[in-house]
Amino acid sequence: MRPPSPDPAAVAPTAVAGRSPHLAEGRGELSRAVTDALRSGGLPRCAPGAVLEADVWGEDLQLALYLLYELHYRGFGDVDDAREWDPDLLRLRQAMEARFLDALRTELSDAPRTVEDAFAPLLVEPVDLSGSLSHHLETEGELWQLREYAALRSLYHLKEADPHAWVIPRLTGRAKAAMVAIEYDEFGAGRADRIHAQLFADLMADLGLDPSYGRYLDHAPAPLLATVNLMSLLGLHRALRGALVGHFACVEVTSSPGSRRLANAMRRCGAGRAAEHFYAEHVEADAVHEQVVRHEVIGGLLSEEPALEADIAFGCASTVLLEDRLADHIRRAWGRGSSALRRPLP
């Protein structure tokens, strides 16, 4: 049974809202400690062993991390901006990050350690697409599934390219020049209406969704939060700059084929011109970006810092791991005929 259709009267205007979002509701001890601390201006209060006892892939820890990372983006409307660098919040975040990184490294203990081995499987279109979420949406997906997919992805796409911009001051020479060139495209090449985050907001409006930044955080399950948290984790730490480049390269390498299928899905379901355009735009743009990021960003970085090769491979493997987890979560829910969100769309 499919979730209910949207109420068109409840849909917000098409624009990326400039105001900061409101805090989400906590989902456990850690995330409640974070939300309470942010609302009150006080310390995050949780049991000494709460971080170690929490499920690293679960709703509580992933939401707590997401909320703390958001302080470095737009913050929250009812939270003092000074909390971004609050030492007690940073201490709690550091403990959760250590668990997240350790879990990733444990899961990927047998993953490739070279750039060639990490990226080789991604450069060839698989013959069997039966497990591909974009293939499912292209061939048999329904409009309500496209709406859910867009609501989930909005947590990243409404700040598209922002996490990757943190790596720019940490690069030099060829790598920096190429990264800036790609980011220039991502941010609209000087035109506000062409910023990719705005194009995604337009897509959401076509689908009858609210394009306000952070609007669907309460709907997002842990597997989605983990994919966005990975970008923030890698972006905020200079020591992980190689992994962030690997993440960015993985996204660009895999984007074009998936975007082509999603553009077809939007067209087949009659989602609207803006909905189709967002993905059509990425088919051509990311095909070019793929070449630049592999040869110039990665190539330039390795020429300057060859010791970062294993980190680049780790960033790629981490991205694949978390995207596969998210796709499995969505496909299982839809296979049961139920919503992939924590709560159905209004």
Q: What per-residue confidence (pLDDT) applies to 140?
A: 94
pTM: 0.92
Letter string b/e over residues 267-305, b meaning 16 or more CB atoms within 10 A of that residue's CB: bbbebbebbbbbbbbbbebbbebbebbbebbbbbbbeeb
Where do the domains of the chain lie, and which CATH numbers do they carry? 8-107 (no CATH), 115-335 (1.20.910.10)
* For residues 67-96, average pLDDT: 96
* 3-state class (DSSP) for residue 142: coil
Q: Per-residue pLDDT for 314 more than 70?
A: yes
Q: Which long-range contacts (CB under 8 A, 24 or more apart) does 129-135 make?
A: 131/327, 131/331, 132/258, 132/261, 132/327, 133/327, 133/330, 133/331, 134/257, 134/258, 134/261, 134/262, 134/265, 135/261
The more confidently predicted of residues 24 and 340 is 340
Structure tokens at 15: 């624009």
Q: What per-residue confidence (pLDDT) applies to 18?
A: 58
Q: Which stretch, 18-27, 124-133, 253-262, has highest mean pLDDT? A: 253-262
